[in-house]
């Protein structure tokens, strides 16, 4: 049965969690504004227990109209501890939906004071992505992930801090688990959901999954097209520029890979979990596939799930990695965002003077088709994910386009999970109960579909312009790289 958001017997939205503390939301941009109505619908928490910090007072009237207070305040490395201490204490919740604020510093602060925490991206303080004095590896997601690593120690009994839980990163980790179970069932070998990390990794290995793409095509359009000098996107322009143009391209490196791409850097010794290409993701195109878009070229944008999924699905024996899939994002953003990236590339990645995030009412058509593409198994390719049209998004929840609603549904699912499991310590999405989170999020994801395909990255290649392809094994990453 499809999960529901509405209780038809009592004629009200389902309250997924009762929360006694206060909730402070940091940042009130596309995701903050989109998630507020969901929090008010689905948490047993009065609006006057929620407060928002929003630099420049962005979104003030929208918050106040919903009974929520908003202060014009910018967090800095110098003021954050004082600002938070005046507003949060034991048993409260910090929901970080900002850009340019260090996740590591916030998690550490929350952990010491018994405050629950969730963010949708592991961020550095301002400049952490754009400082040319930092080497690419220092601006990488792997470095940010390593920065929070010490906070994992003693996790089990500490206040819950959910790291990077929107849709991707976030829900896609849960989609992968559902997709693995679907693959097994469709092979007439249904299995119960594994109870441990190793169990999921063994299932992925037994099914023969070699690579996982986070395969997304956003087809939302606006009649007021991007103008020269303007960056248009369906979610944070600043966040997207950071990850696609200022951070290097990165991916989780599978145990079956034979050859690093030219210039790639593998971190650490032995079979590598992480590989970095010292160039922007927006200049690194990969081949991928979604059911409606078909074959496409996406951008290899660095994302936390590329590491967390690759690590979660790793199997080792005697200190040697025996199985790990290659994991990466293959993002085809809305057409106006592609044009924006192209213009930025021409300006040597200098940000464009103007930015516009497309609000739901500016969009006239399209959808976000966002899922996980499991490759290399007996049935070649299997995509599982969400197809949410702009019309569905508008009907489901105000202040959301299709992209933000997929994200805010993930944030809601993560917040509910954290409130129900307040002493879980620092967790990646992969470490959470996927059915519990998907039950809360799925009613806002439109159509959830699983589709098989015979697509491989070699299909239709090597005819007019022969390339150096590894024809023996279509699942080598070098075949995916354009």
Ligand X SMILES: NC(=O)c1ccc[n+]([C@@H]2O[C@H](COP(=O)([O-])OP(=O)(O)OC[C@H]3O[C@@H](n4cnc5c(N)ncnc54)[C@H](O)[C@@H]3O)[C@@H](O)[C@H]2O)c1
> Of these, 23, 25, 26, 215, which contacts ligand X (CB under 6 A)?
26
Count CB atoms within 10 A of the CB of residue 343.
Answer: 16
Q: Which of 151, 334, 177, 146 is nearest to 250 (CA)?
A: 146
Residue 476 half-sphere exposure, CB side, CA atoms within 13 Å?
Answer: 15
Exactly one of 128, 170, 252, 280 binds ligand X (CB under 6 A); that residue is 170
Q: Please report whether residue 101 would count as binding ligand X according to CB under 6 A.
A: yes
Q: CA 136, CA 127: separation in Å to the nearest integer?
A: 13
| Binder among 97, 397, 426, 427 for ligand X (CB under 6 A) | 97
Write down the least CB distance from residue 45 to ligand X, Å: 21
By CB under 6 A, is residue 400 in contact with ligand X? no
Total site size for ligand X, rule CB under 6 A: 34
Contacts of 341 (CB under 8 A, 6+ apart): 244, 245, 282, 299, 333
Any contact of residue 37 with ligand X (CB under 6 A)? no
Report the distance separating Cα 477 and Cα 261, nearest Å.
8
Please identify, using beta-carbon distances, which residue of 389 and 408 lies nearer to ligand X.
408
Q: Between 389 and 407, whose beta carbon lies closer to ligand X?
A: 407
**In the complex with ligand X, which residue's Cβ is closer, 26 or 337?**
26
Q: Which residue's structure tokens are 């490395």? A: 77
Measured distance CA(337)–CA(335) in Å, rounded: 5
480 binds ligand X (CB under 6 A): no
Name which of residues 192 to 221 contact ligand X (CB under 6 A): none
Does 446 interact with ligand X (rule: CB under 6 A)?
Answer: no
Within 10 A of 28 (CB to CB), how many other CB atoms are there?
Answer: 25
The stretch near ligand X (CB under 6 A) out of 231-239, 246-254, 306-314, 390-398 is 231-239
Stretch that binds ligand X, among 86-94, 233-241, 371-379, 443-451 (CB under 6 A): 233-241
Residue (of 455, 292, 311) closest to 382 by Cα position: 455
Q: What is the DSSP string of 359-384?
A: -GGG--B-EEEEEEEEEEETTEEEEE
What beta strand segments (E) does 291-429 contain? 294-299, 315-317, 320-323, 326-332, 354-357, 367-377, 380-389, 426-427
DSSP state of 73: -
Cβ distance to ligand X smaller for residue 244 or 481: 244
Q: Which window, 98-106, 109-117, 219-227, 457-465, contacts ligand X (CB under 6 A)? A: 98-106
Judged by CB under 6 A, the stretch of 39-47, 149-157, 236-244, 438-446 that binds ligand X is 236-244
Pick the stretch among 53-61, 110-118, 260-268, 429-437 that binds ligand X (CB under 6 A).
53-61
Q: Least CB distance from residue 390 to ligand X, whole Å? A: 16
**DSSP, res 111:** H
| The binder of ligand X chosen from 23, 25, 38, 53 (CB under 6 A) | 53
Binding site for ligand X (CB under 6 A): 26-32, 53-55, 58, 74-75, 97-101, 120-121, 123, 164, 166-170, 235-236, 238-239, 357, 407, 410
């Amino acid at each position: 049965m499809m999960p529901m958001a509405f209780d038809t017997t009592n004629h009200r939205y389902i309250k997924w969690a009762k929360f006694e503390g206060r909730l402070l939301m940091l940042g009130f941009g596309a995701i903050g504004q989109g998630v507020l109505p969901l929090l008010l619908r689905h948490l047993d928490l009065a609006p006057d227990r929620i407060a928002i910090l929003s630099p420049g007072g962005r979104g003030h009237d929208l918050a106040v109209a919903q009974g929520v207070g908003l202060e014009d305040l910018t967090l800095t490395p110098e003021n954050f501890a004082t600002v938070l201490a005046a507003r949060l204490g034991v048993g409260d919740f910090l929901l970080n939906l900002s850009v340019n604020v260090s996740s590591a510093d916030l998690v550490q602060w929350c952990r010491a004071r018994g405050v629950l925490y969730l963010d949708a991206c592991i961020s550095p303080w301002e400049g952490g992505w754009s400082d040319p004095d930092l080497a690419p590896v220092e601006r990488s997601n792997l470095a940010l992930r390593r920065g929070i690593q010490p906070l994992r120690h003693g996790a089990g009994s500490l206040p819950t801090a959910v790291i990077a839980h929107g849709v991707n990163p976030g829900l896609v980790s849960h989609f992968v688990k559902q997709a693995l179970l679907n693959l097994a069932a469709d092979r007439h070998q249904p299995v119960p959901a594994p109870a441990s990390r190793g169990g999921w990794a063994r299932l992925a290995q037994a099914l023969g999954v070699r690579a996982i793409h986070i395969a997304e095509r956003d087809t939302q359009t606006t009649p007021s097209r991007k103008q020269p000098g303007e960056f248009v996107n369906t979610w944070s322009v600043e966040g997207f520029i950071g990850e696609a143009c200022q951070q290097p391209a990165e991916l989780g490196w599978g145990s079956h890979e034979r050859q690093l791409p030219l210039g790639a850097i593998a971190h650490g010794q032995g079979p590598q979990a992480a590989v970095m290409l010292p160039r922007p993701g927006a200049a690194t195109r990969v081949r991928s596939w979604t059911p409606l878009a078909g074959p496409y070229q996406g951008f290899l944008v660095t994302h936390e799930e590329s590491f967390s999924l690759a690590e979660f699905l790793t199997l080792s024996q005697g200190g040697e990695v025996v199985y790990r899939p290659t994991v990466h994002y293959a993002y085809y953003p809305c057409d106006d965002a592609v044009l924006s990236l192209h213009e930025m590339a021409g300006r040597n990645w200098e940000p464009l003077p103007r930015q516009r995030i497309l609000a739901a009412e500016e969009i006239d058509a399209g959808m976000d088709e966002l899922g996980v593409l499991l490759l290399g198994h007996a049935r070649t390719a299997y995509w599982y994910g969400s197809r949410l049209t702009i019309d569905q998004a508008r009907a489901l929840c105000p202040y959301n386009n299709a992209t933000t609603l997929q994200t805010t549904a993930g944030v809601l699912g993560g917040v509910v999970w954290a409130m129900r499991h307040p002493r879980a310590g620092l967790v990646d999405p992969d470490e959470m109960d996927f059915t519990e989170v998907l039950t809360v999020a799925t009613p806002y994801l439109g159509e959830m579909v699983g589709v098989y395909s015979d697509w491989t990255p070699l299909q239709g290649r090597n005819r007019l312009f022969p390339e150096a392809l590894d024809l023996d094994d279509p699942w080598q990453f070098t075949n995916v790289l354009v």
